[in-house]
Structure 1
Amino acid sequence: MKNTLLGVIDATSYYDSLGDLLLHRSLAALPIAGRYRLVDFVLSNMVNSDIGSVAIFPKYQYRSLMDHLGSGKNWDLNRKRDGLFFFPVPGLERNDETIGSFNHFAHHIDYFTRSTQEYALITNCYTVCNIAYRPVLERHVQIGCDITEIRHGGSSLHMYLVKKSLLVDLIKSRHQTGYTCMNDVVEDMESGLKVCGYEHQGFVERIDSIDKYFETSMNLLELDQWRELFKKDLPIYTKVKDEPPTRYTSEAGVKHSIIANGCFIKGHVDHSMIFRAVKVGEGTTIKNSIIMQKSQIGRDCVLENVILDKDVKIEDGVRLIGDPEQPIVVRKGMVQGALMNS
């Protein structure tokens, strides 16, 4: 069954509740777990399932997404045949912003008609999970399904496996049928199609709010949760950056945290996610927080229940203490000084 699946990632999703983190990037490019982006999970799942042709359909602020993925080399998708494709569509209407919009696909129908794969896998970009799609396809074929919807705990993950010829028919007939996306088809009990469910067991989180993003990040600090998501036989790939190891001074202290490469830690870090190239000054305490790439934190600061976006500068003596249910978010590139807190 190798090379029989076509990968389709819908990266048009946007949630107002994540607005502070999506000012300069698409949801698919949201950093998570120290060195990854949300799109890394579903894309790695596809590559691990022998999917060699993947189309990404973005809309909002997708420059950072394209910069992260590049030619697809880190996912072995920089190929002469098939590989990684980007299909942005300008002017997509709000009511088309559902997973797998047929109107969106229709703009690039040639991609589907020219591809040689027999089946298509349509997914969202915001679900953090580790799924092997081959068993889904095998069950789909064995039972004789028209559409298989992947679920977790009985709820849809908005991931659909469908025969490519049926998908093309659904796209072309959308104005006659009234179907706007795969979910419309699945929910129509009178569609005449055999819709099957596939229950996935394992770590699954849908990132659709600041609270869920923060909660998921904190959960991944637990070793059992981390191992459930990051499996040796099904690795999660990401963009490789050659950076030196993190340096720690003799006064530094790190407990129950994830520290990425290239950092310089002089203070204390407890139960936090620290991304690449972050600097933490002397006498500073960071607890239950997410500090994104290249942020700089001065001396004698206290940060608790805080999310710092990329390139944030925290000056000496700043105290930022949020609530676990409502963490403080400092936007990308902002400077936070002690006088600003008084």
Structure 2
Amino acid sequence: MKDVIGIINDTMNADELKDLTKHRSFGSIPFGGRYRLIDFTLSNMANSGINNIGIFTQIKSRSLLDHLGTGKNWNLNHLYILPPVIKPGENLENFGDVDYFSKHIDFLEKSKEKYVLLANSNCIYNLDFNLVKNFFFDSLADIVMVYKRVENTKDEKVINLDVDFSSKRIIDIAVEPNNSTGDLYCNIIFMRKEMFLGLIDYCVSRGLKDFIKDGIIPRLKTFRVMAYEYNGFYGQVKTLLNYYKLNKALLEKEVWDKLFINDNPILTKVQHEPPAKYVEGNLVENSLIANGCVIEGKVINSILFRGVKVKKGSVIKDSIVMQKGIIGENAVIENTILDKEVQVNNDVKVISPLNYPIVIERKTEI
């Protein structure tokens, strides 16, 4: 896919995730013990042979920049970080994705690739994008949007596609629908670069800000907008609850195998640390334990990132503990998300309601 430029949109905002995005962008939210959310989209692009990738970022991008570096961990030669460009009198809070794209239109125009693959940074999946490109040509499409059949989107802020299954053509798009079932849009679009630039220009000239709502939906009858069905595991992080549930889903073997046990590895920043150490008397059940952890207590149905220390007599259950967390002796953590470098003192109990996890802010001592 040397004729395809990859565009990753990391400009989303969500009040429901503000506890995790206070100091970082969506793409740099830790996930699954050793990854960041952006690793999935970035790895899928790299594995598919896309070598020229631009990432549109927010202001809070220091953590993302540190994670990505030069892109060598993804075997990339051309990785570009495209921060927001704000002119006097403009307010970043009023920006839509079209604003971010248009501010770097020169980057897109100067690229030599003929096609664009646009994807968000907050989605969990493993997909060979060559399949999407082949479908684009086979279906004579102007635009391809990737979707997945789902049973329930009622409690999530998503976009559903209304697909004519006989032709695979998209006949309607519902943003944050009220219905509980549908064809979930996977935040992946493939099209010719010329059309992508044309849609951006159309929106900018009319003061429109949303690429899908303002650029694509009004043209569903004009353009041949086709739907490619993805059958693997898929999730998108938009709320604290689905972030928690998607992490916990990795504890299921079927989910883990679909994401990680195949020929297309999910890559991340390499950090050399010793293996986890399990001290006599520990108990670990159905959990992901990253390198550098020291486990003296109990860890049940939980995910521990690199360098977490679980001291004697403590219990971690149905929780997520991010990098370098310290859980003191006889402490109890249940249904809770601990951000990086949180220290829980001896005998402290933090128990969140079931399915309503709370977040302990990074570097907090409790």
Give TM-score scaled by structure 2 length. Answer: 0.86
Q: Which moved more, 1:229-238 or 1:68-77?
A: 229-238
Q: Distance in 1 between matches of 2:95 and 2:199?
A: 15
Pair 1:3 & 2:2 matched: yes
Is the 1:308–1:330 Cα contact (8 Å) retained in structure 2?
Answer: yes
Question: Quick one: which of 68, 74, 83 aligns to 1:88?
Answer: 83
> Which residue is equivalent to 1:102?
98
Report Cα offsets for 1:247-298 as digits up to 9, x if no partner: 1111111111000000111111111000000001101111101000001111
> Which residue is equivalent to 1:17?
16
Question: Quick one: which of 108, 114, 137 aligns to 1:112?
Answer: 108
| Matches for 1:98-247 after TM superposition, within 5 Å | 101-153=97-149, 154-176=183-205, 179-183=208-212, 184-189=214-219, 192-247=222-277
Q: Distance in 1 between matches of 2:363 and 2:75?
A: 32
Q: Which moved more, 1:320-329 or 1:4-13?
A: 320-329
What is the identity, as a one-letter code, of the residue corresponding to 2:81?
F
Structure 2 CA distance for partners of 1:103 and 1:263, relative to 1, 3 Å? same
Is the 2:203–2:209 Cα contact (8 Å) retained in structure 1?
Answer: yes
Pair 1:266 & 2:296 matched: yes
Is the 2:95–2:209 Cα contact (8 Å) retained in structure 1?
Answer: yes
Q: Which moved more, 1:162-171 or 1:252-261?
A: 162-171
**Secondary structure at the residue paired with 2:112?**
coil
How far off its partner does 1:138 sit?
0.8
Q: Distance in 2 between matches of 1:22 and 1:231?
A: 30
Measured on the aligned residues, the alpha-carbon RMSD in Å equals 1.5
Q: Distance in 2 between matches of 1:284 and 1:314?
A: 10
Is the 1:10–1:58 Cα contact (8 Å) retained in structure 2?
Answer: yes
Structure 2 CA distance for partners of 1:96 and 1:157, relative to 1, 3 Å? farther
Is the 2:200–2:215 Cα contact (8 Å) retained in structure 1?
Answer: no
What is the identity, as a one-letter code, of the residue corresponding to 1:171?
I
How far off its partner does 1:144 sit?
1.6
Report Cα offsets for 1:19-54 as digits up to 9, x if no partner: 111111111100010000000000001011100000
**Secondary structure at the residue paired with 2:346?**
coil
How far off its partner does 1:328 sit?
2.5
Structure 2 CA distance for partners of 1:170 and 1:191, relative to 1, 3 Å? farther
Is the 1:9–1:56 Cα contact (8 Å) retained in structure 2?
Answer: yes
> Which residue is equivalent to 1:340?
none
Is the 1:160–1:182 Cα contact (8 Å) retained in structure 2?
Answer: no
How far off its partner does 1:202 sit?
1.3
How far off its partner does 1:324 sit?
2.4
Pair 1:328 & 2:358 matched: yes
Report Cα offsets for 1:114-157 as digits up to 9, x if no partner: 11111001111111111111111111012221111111121212
**Secondary structure at the residue paired with 1:74?**
helix
What is the identity, as a one-letter code, of the residue corresponding to 2:84?
V
How far off its partner does 1:106 sit?
1.7
Q: Distance in 1 between matches of 2:115 and 2:216?
A: 17
Structure 2: gaps (5+ residues): 150-182
Pair 1:284 & 2:280 matched: no
**Secondary structure at the residue paired with 1:102?**
helix
Q: Which moved more, 1:262-271 or 1:110-119?
A: 110-119
| Matches for 1:298-317 after TM superposition, within 5 Å | 298-317=328-347
**Secondary structure at the residue paired with 1:173?**
helix
Give TM-score scaled by structure 1 length. Answer: 0.92
Structure 2 CA distance for partners of 1:62 and 1:191, relative to 1, 3 Å? farther
What is the identity, as a one-letter code, of the residue corresponding to 2:200?
I
Pair 1:253 & 2:322 matched: no
Report the count of equivalent residues: 328
> Which residue is equivalent to 2:170?
none
